[in-house]
Structure 1
Amino acid sequence: MLVSSQTDLEFVGQAGNGVEGIAMAATALPDVILMDIRMPVMDGIESTREILAAAARRGGPQPRIIVLTTFDLDEAAMRAIRGGASGFLLKDADPEFLLAAIRTVHAGTSVIAASATRELFENFDTHVATVVPEVFEKLTSREKDIFVLAARGLSNSEIATAEFLSEATVKTHISRVLGKLGLRDRVQLVVFAYENGLTD
C-alpha cells in the first residue's frame, strides 16, 4: 500500500519466503527489492545472493536489494551486505524514510540504518587483514583520503567541506575509487575498508 501510493513507484510483487523471492525476481524483474532477513525455506541472505547471481547470468541490470532487519546491530545484515545487498533498514523505519531509501538505492546510492555504520562493522569479527591490498595502491593520494572519509560514513557534501572540494569533484573521485577497487557502491566500500583495516 505504501509503495503503490507513490506516483513514481510501482509495486510488482510479493513473496512469502526466499525461494519464492528468487522466482518472483526472475519474472517481475524489479528494480528494487525489500528483503526480509529472516524467512522460512530460505533466508534473505541466501536469497539475495541467488537473485543477484541470476541477474548476472542474464546479463541485464541487477536489482538493488534493501535488507530489512529488526535489530540495529544485526550480524545477518552484515552478511547480506557482503552478499551484495545495497544496504539495510530497520523494520520500524519511518514510512517516508523507507520511500526515500527505495528512491536512493534506485538512483545508485546505498543506505544503512541511521547511525549504524561504524557500530555494525566494529561489533562483528570482520577478519581484518594486516596487509594493504595491492589494488588499494592504485588510488592516488587524494583518492585515498576521500576513500577513508567515505568509509567513515561521511556524505559527499561533508567530504567536500573537509577536503575543500566541490561536491561534483567528490562524486567524480568516489566513482573513480569504486571503479579502481572493483566495488559496486559505498556500502561495499565500507565493507572493503573495514575488512582491510583501512579506516584510520
Structure 2
Amino acid sequence: MIPVVVVDDEPMVCAHLRTILGSAEDIDVVAQAQDGAEAVEAVVRHRPRVVLMDLRMPGVDGLTATERIMRLPGPPAVVALTTFDADTYVMRALRAGAAGFLVKSTPPEDLINLVRVAADGHTVLSPEAARRLVAASGGERAEQARELVAGLTERERQVLGCLGQGRSNADIARLLHLSEATVKSYVSRMLVKLDCTNRTQAGLLAHEAGLA
C-alpha cells in the first residue's frame, strides 16, 4: 500500500481527493490536514510516502510546510497542488524540494497514476500543469532556458527532454538504449550544469526550452 497524506484548507477538496485515491486498491489516505502545521504533524505521525500539498493556506502555508517536511529524516515525496492563480508559488515549492506539481482539476485516473509515480521516487510533472506554468512564465524565461540548454551535448538534451516528459531513469535507459547507471550520470551532470536542485526543475526547464 502507498500511504498518502492530503493537505488542503478546503474540507470538500480533501474529501474529493480521498474519494478518488480511495478507489485505488494500492493507495491508502492515512490522514488529512487543513494547514501546514497539521501537515507536518501528520507526516511525523503516519510516515506517508506521498503528500499532496495545497500551497496557499491560512496560518502555516504549504511552502513553509514543504520546507519543514523536507528537513525530516527520510522525507516523503511532496507534490504541490495548484490552481495556477500564482505560478510563483509553484516555483518556490520546487526550490523547497517538492517532487512535482499538479493542478487540482487533474482527472481521477491521472491523479492516481501520478501518486504512484511520486511514490516510486520519480518526477511528477503532468503535461497540462507544465504547459500552463510555462505559458504563465512568459517569453523571457523561455529565452533564458534556451540559453541554458545551449551548452548541453545532444545526448544530454535528449535526456533532458525525457525528464520533461516525467520519465524515470529506467524508461530513459530503454528509450535511448543506455544503462540506468549512464542515465543517472547524465542527470547528475545536467543538474549541476543547469543549476537545478532536482529532476522536476530540470523537467520544467525542458518545457521552457521547447525540448519536451
TM-score, length of structure 1 as denominator length: 0.71
Amino acid paired to 1:8: D
Which one has the bigger strand percentage? 2
Which one has the bigger helix percentage? 2
Q: Which residue number corresponds to residue 29 of structure 1? A: 47
Q: Is the 8 A contact 2:124 2:166 kept in 1?
A: no
Q: Is the 8 A contact 2:164 2:204 kept in 1?
A: no
What is the total number of aligned residue pairs between the two structures?
A: 185
How high is the sequence identity, in percent, across the aligned residues? 30
Q: Which residue number corresponds to residue 104 of structure 2? A: 91
SS at match of 2:52: strand
Question: 1:1-200 to 2 correspondence within 5 Å?
Answer: 1-53=19-71, 55=72, 60-71=73-84, 74-117=87-130, 120-121=133-134, 123-124=136-137, 141=153, 143-150=155-162, 152-153=164-165, 155=167, 165-166=176-177, 169=178, 171-180=180-189, 181=191, 185-190=198-203
Q: Is the 8 A contact 2:51 2:78 kept in 1?
A: yes
State how far apart, in whole Å, the 1-side matches of 2:167 and 2:119 are.
18
SS at match of 1:66: strand
Amino acid paired to 2:200: V
Q: Is the 8 A contact 2:125 2:203 kept in 1?
A: no
RMSD: 3.8
TM-score, length of structure 2 as denominator length: 0.68
Unaligned runs of 5+ in 1: none
Q: Could you give the per-residue CA deviations for residues 43-91 of structure 1, whole angstroms, max 9, x where no partner exists? A: 11111111111x2xxxx42200111111287221121111111111111
Between stretches 77-86 and 143-152, larger displacement belongs to 143-152
